[in-house]
């Protein structure tokens, strides 16, 4: 029923494919698509039910974005357990085209029985906490030589939240229920309370996963690196005489060698081992640094910039594991049952105020007329960012390995976009930004 591949024995890089967690269900998109083609043959069932179609589209999009993972030791048992709840709904889905073409048409009782079967499959995921738990000892967690092991805390029963197989199947169950309702009894959709259960469970799951995204260990200034001259005070003496000076850093994922990442800035989703690791040495700072030559402002700015880079990794990881799609679906389900969608800023958003606070910027006072908003670009932001970076290595001159290093030129264009990855958009007339 699933095209989930065997992942036993794969390393952390392979496990990081949780960013495509629902990709294993791409085959279901095809199945739903075939039923939708049958809808067009049913008189009176048109494309006017846009709310339901939006939900179906969102789920099918998620299928192509995410790929499931589960520990090898726990994989088969959990798959069997979860599949036991969804298999009856899958059977209904497979029979839908034949049911809709049957002569004479199926009775109302028969239709409601099929819908009830799919409804029970959804409740299997919404109403039972154990479907969202696994033994901690059976699951892999992220670990490296810099941040150590990043894992959730288990309760006294040694169980932890686990969604890597359950969430895709839960979304699959929702899509089958919606498809069946639309095919057999579209008017029954609004009267069903099952979607309230879906909203409650999906909101809890989304919040738990989001709270599980953590930034890896922040280095101290002394961890970043320093240069020690030779024993006689010179960097390099005549061959065979004085020892050569050396660069030292503690900021690496694997000090012993191997596949070490130098100067890492990273984010980890603790429940799935999904991670997003960058290298400051590779991306921004490709040389050894003697921090003893830095002024206080330069060192403090550099550390603040590392913190911002880690936060950016966390926001990117949220997108990588497909949470925006889950949030979109959650809001669409809320609308289906008459609840307002969430108005909170998405986790992946970058309010200007967050950048200003993280970097400790001081903007010049502004006395313009208008309504202040987190999404309105503050006047003076770009000059403040330029001033900040001009005192921050590698955009400021400094010494490395005993030699002066010229500053790296600041990038052209928006520095806010350079730091956050978010493209600036025009501000709305009310003073509220649209990004």
**Does 5 have pLDDT greater than 60?**
no
Q: What is the mean pLDDT of residues 70-99?
A: 76
Which of 215, 250, 283 terminates a domain? The answer is: 215
397 and 280, same structural domain?
yes
283 and 194, same structural domain?
no
Determine the structural domain holding residue 226 and report its residue range.
221-262+273-320+349-420
Question: Buried b / exposed e across 94-122, counting CB within 10 Å, b at 16+?
Answer: eebbebbeeeeeeeeeebeebbebbbbbb
- C-alpha span between 7 and 24 (Å, rounded): 13
Assigned domain for 121 exists: yes
User: pLDDT over 70 for what percent of the chain?
Assistant: 71
Assigned domain for 313 exists: yes
User: Which range has the worst mean pLDDT, 237-241, 305-309, 347-351, 409-413?
Assistant: 237-241
- C-alpha span between 111 and 109 (Å, rounded): 5
Q: Which residues pair with 22 in a beta bridge?
A: 67
Assigned domain for 434 exists: no
Assigned domain for 135 exists: yes
103 and 50, same structural domain?
yes
Domain count, the chain: 2
256 and 239, same structural domain?
yes
Q: What is the pLDDT of residues 166-183, one digit of tens each?
A: 888 898 898 888 888 888
111 and 133, same structural domain?
yes
129 and 83, same structural domain?
yes
154 and 32, same structural domain?
yes
Comparing C-alpha atoms, which of 275, 121, 19, 21 is closest to residue 4? 21
Assigned domain for 16 exists: yes
129 and 27, same structural domain?
yes
**Higher confidence at residue 430 or residue 232?**
232
Q: How confident is the model at residue 345 (pLDDT cuts 50, 70, 90)?
A: confident
Q: What is the pLDDT of residues 28-66, one digit of tens each?
A: 233 333 333 233 433 333 334 445 556 656 665 655 454
Q: Do 225 and 292 contact (CB within 8 A), yes or no?
A: no
Angle at 282 between CA 276 and CA 284, to 5 degrees: 95
Angle at 180 between CA 176 and CA 185, to 5 degrees: 155
207 and 226, same structural domain?
no
301 and 154, same structural domain?
no
189 and 117, same structural domain?
yes
Assigned domain for 430 exists: no
Q: What is the pLDDT of residues 106-155, one digit of tens each?
A: 998 899 899 999 999 999 999 989 899 988 887 888 999 999 999 999 98
Q: Do 420 and 355 contact (CB within 8 A), yes or no?
A: yes
Dump the DSSP string for 320-386. Answer: HTTHHHHHHHHHHHHHHTTPPPP-SPPTT---HHHHHHHHT--PPP---SS---TTSPPTTHHHHHH
């Amino acid at each position: 029923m699933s095209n989930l591949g065997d992942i036993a024995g794969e390393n952390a890089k392979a496990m990081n494919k949780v960013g495509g967690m629902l990709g294993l269900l791409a085959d279901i998109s095809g199945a739903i698509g075939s039923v939708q083609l049958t809808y067009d043959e049913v008189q009176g069932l048109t494309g006017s039910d846009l709310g339901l179609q939006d939900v179906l589209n969102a789920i099918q999009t998620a299928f192509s974005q995410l790929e499931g993972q589960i520990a090898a030791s726990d994989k088969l048992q959990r798959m069997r357990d979860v599949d036991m709840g969804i298999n009856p709904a899958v059977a209904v889905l497979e029979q839908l085209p034949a049911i809709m073409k049957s002569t004479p048409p199926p009775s109302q009782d028969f239709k409601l029985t099929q819908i009830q079967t799919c409804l029970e499959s959804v409740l299997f995921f919404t109403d039972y906490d154990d479907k969202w738990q696994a033994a901690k000892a059976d699951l892999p967690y992220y670990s490296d030589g810099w941040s150590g092991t990043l894992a959730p805390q288990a309760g006294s029963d040694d169980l932890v939240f686990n969604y890597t197989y359950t969430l895709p199947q839960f979304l699959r169950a929702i899509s089958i229920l919606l498809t069946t309702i639309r095919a057999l009894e579209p008017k029954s959709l609004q009267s069903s309370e099952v979607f309230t259960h879906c909203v409650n469970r999906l909101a809890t799951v989304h919040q738990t996963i989001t709270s599980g995204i953590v930034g890896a260990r922040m280095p101290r200034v002394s961890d970043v690196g320093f240069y020690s001259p030779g024993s006689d005070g010179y960097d390099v003496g005549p061959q065979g005489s004085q020892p050569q000076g050396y660069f030292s850093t503690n900021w690496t994922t694997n000090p012993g060698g191997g596949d070490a990442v130098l100067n890492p800035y990273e984010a980890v989703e603790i429940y799935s081992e999904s991670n997003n690791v960058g290298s400051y040495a590779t991306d921004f700072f490709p040389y050894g640094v003697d921090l003893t030559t830095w002024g206080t402002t330069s060192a403090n700015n550099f550390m603040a910039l590392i913190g911002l880079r880690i936060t950016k990794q966390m926001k990117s990881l949220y997108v990588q594991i497909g949470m925006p799609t889950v949030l979109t679906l959650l809001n669409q389900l809320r609308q289906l049952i008459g609840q307002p969608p969430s108005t909170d800023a998405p986790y992946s958003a970058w309010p200007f105020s967050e950048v200003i606070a993280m970097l400790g910027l001081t903007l010049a006072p502004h006395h313009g007329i208008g309504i202040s908003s987190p999404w309105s670009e503050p006047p003076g932001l770009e000059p403040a960012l330029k001033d900040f970076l001009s005192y921050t290595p590698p955009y400021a001159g400094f010494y490395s390995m005993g030699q002066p290093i010229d500053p790296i030129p600041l990038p052209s264009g928006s520095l806010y976009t350079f730091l956050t990855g978010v493209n600036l958009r025009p501000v709305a007339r009310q003073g509220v930004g649209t990004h």
